């Protein structure tokens, strides 16, 4: 009897831990956590103020090979869909932003770049892999989350964006 009680208490403790972890995780279908950051041009941008636009938020780092490969894809998406209310925001997650700035020197990017030097936003968005891309719909709801980057993700991003544009 004592063994069953201990097993039950252990199972209950594990369940509580798992549920608390999920309570803080970024889930598709939930409101995107709001934030305000200053972009490289010195302009403060707030996510809530972007309602009515589709926002592709990409978390990246200079040491990340797939991030480097993905940047031209993100720029192409910005170029193709910006007139339809799509904005690409790149969030560098490194605490020393000079590495991120050096990374960007060789790239011709027109989308907004931000520096999350304290990793507060990365933690809020539960970023666990580089890169991580979150697509937020016109109502501020997280609709897609992609971790990592592989060939073919450009098509996935475009398909998701087209679907959101049609809504």
pLDDT tens column, 45-86: 999 999 999 999 999 999 999 999 999 999 999 999 999 999
Which is more confident, 40 or 139? 139
Cα 6 from Cα 58, distance rounded (Å): 45
Q: Does domain 27-166 have CATH number 3.40.30.10?
A: yes
7-16, 98-107, 120-129, range with the lowest pLDDT:
7-16
Structural domain spans, the chain: 27-166
Q: Are 25 and 126 contacting, i.e. CB atoms less than 8 angstroms apart? A: yes
What was the pLDDT predicted at 25? Answer: 57
Q: Which of 1-10, 15-24, 38-47, 153-162 has the highest mean pLDDT?
A: 153-162
* pLDDT exceeds cutoff 90 at 30: yes
The mean per-residue pLDDT over the stretch 1-19 comes to 44
Could you read off the pLDDT of 119-161 as tens digits, one per residue?
Answer: 999 999 999 999 999 999 999 999 999 999 999 999 999 999 9
Confidence of residue 37 (pLDDT cuts 50, 70, 90): very high
Q: Are 157 and 140 contacting, i.e. CB atoms less than 8 angstroms apart? A: no
Owner of token pair 């509580």: 16
Q: Are 57 and 91 contacting, i.e. CB atoms less than 8 angstroms apart? A: yes
| Angle of the 153-166 helix axis to the 65-81 helix axis, nearest 10 | 30
């Amino acid at each position: 009897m004592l063994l069953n009680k201990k097993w039950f208490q252990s199972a209950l403790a594990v369940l509580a831990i798992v549920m608390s972890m999920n309570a803080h995780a970024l889930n598709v279908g939930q409101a995107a956590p709001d934030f305000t950051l200053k972009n490289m041009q010195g302009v403060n941008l707030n996510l809530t103020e972007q309602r009515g636009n589709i926002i592709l938020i990409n978390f990246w780092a200079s040491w990340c090979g797939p991030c480097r490969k993905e940047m031209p894809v993100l720029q192409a998406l910005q170029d193709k869909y910006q007139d339809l209310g799509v904005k690409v925001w790149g969030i560098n997650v490194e605490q020393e932003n000079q590495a991120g700035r050096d990374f960007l020197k060789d790239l011709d990017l027109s989308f907004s770049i931000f520096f999350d030097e304290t990793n507060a936003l990365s933690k809020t968005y539960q970023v666990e892999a580089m890169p991580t891309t979150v697509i937020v719909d016109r109502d501020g709801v997280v609709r897609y989350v992609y971790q990592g980057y592989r060939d073919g993700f450009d098509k996935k991003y475009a398909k998701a964006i087209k679907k959101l544009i049609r809504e």
